[in-house]
Structure 1
Amino acid sequence: MYEPKGFPWEELGRKMAIVFKALGDVNRMKIIKILASNPDESICVVDLGKILGITQPATSQHIKVLQNINIVSPKRIKNKTFYAINSGQLRDYNKIIDEMFKKAFQRCTYDGDCTTCPDRGNCK
């Protein structure tokens, strides 16, 4: 794989691969949509499962994956855990993805050697 010298593609690529993998499931995308469209409300796993038409254990597994990338936040009330969207993190991922695409389609006139490029500040 072509990798410009001095640019953290490996590190960024690993992190975003985890995010893309977590987002690569229809039910997880639906959970994000449900929570993001109700930002002032928290919803429990049982209710999310009913909305999605899947079991509580399956819903819990999807929530766990989304928690691992910090897109949903838990809130314990008595004996139930409710989940809400972490819209700040979602916006951060959106910015990173936008930047990745923007930079991916920029032509490099220095053969990927960021250490000698006078425009390197715009690459990182």
Structure 2
Amino acid sequence: MTTQTDCQATAPARVSIDPEEAAELAVGFKALADPNRITLLTLIAAEQKGEACVCDLTEPLGLGQPTVSHHLKVLVDAGFLSREKRGTWSYYSLVQGALPELFHAMTERTDQ
């Protein structure tokens, strides 16, 4: 049986996180919590030009354009993708360093 004193002696130091920062991190992780969004990120990352049009992303996902556009918007809002409008089409590219920054922000708290 573990006593209160034993728990306190072995418990890791607590690191607090600002509620606003926690909310920002949650947006990023929530955006990544959907398999279609992960697929979109990998499809865009695999593009030779480093960008993809919505019209090129619907078929690989087997989803309609409005659904793909919604997922892309979530990824843009979370800071993982940038969007450039060209005429009637939108082109998306990865924001360099966004994924590593998210994971670094989380692990810097757990590595202490």
Matched with 1:73 is: 82
Q: Per the alignment, in what secondary structure is the counterpart of residue 50 of structure 2?
A: coil
Matched with 2:7 is: none
The answer to which structure has the higher helix fraction is 2
- Per-residue displacement from partner, 1:3-42 (whole Å, max 9, x unpaired)? x58x434233221111111111000011111122337422
Which residue, out of 4, 13, 25, partners 2:22?
13
Distance 1:39 1:71 in 2: 18
- Per-residue displacement from partner, 1:62-116 (whole Å, max 9, x unpaired)? 011001111111112232111111122222113213323324xxxxxxxxxxxxx
TM-score (norm 2): 0.75
Contact between 2:45 and 2:51, CA under 8 Å: does it hold in 1? Answer: no
Distance 1:100 1:37 in 2: 31
Asked if 1:46 is matched to 2:55, the reply is: yes
Query: CA RMSD for the aligned pairs?
Result: 2.2
TM-score (norm 1): 0.69
Q: Which structure is richer in relative contact order (CA contacts within 8 A, separation 6 or more)?
A: 1
| Distance change >3 Å, CA 38–CA 101, structure 1 → 2 | farther
Contact between 2:36 and 2:71, CA under 8 Å: does it hold in 1? Answer: yes
Which segments of 5 or more consecutive residues in structure 1 lack a partner in the other structure? 104-124
Q: Per the alignment, in what secondary structure is the counterpart of residue 74 of structure 1?
A: strand
Which segments of 5 or more consecutive residues in structure 2 lack a partner in the other structure? 1-13
Superposed structure 1 runs of 4+ greater than 2 Å apart: 7-12, 36-41
Q: Percent identity?
A: 28
Question: What is the number of residues matched between the two proteins?
Answer: 100
Q: Per the alignment, in what secondary structure is the counterpart of residue 71 of structure 2?
A: helix
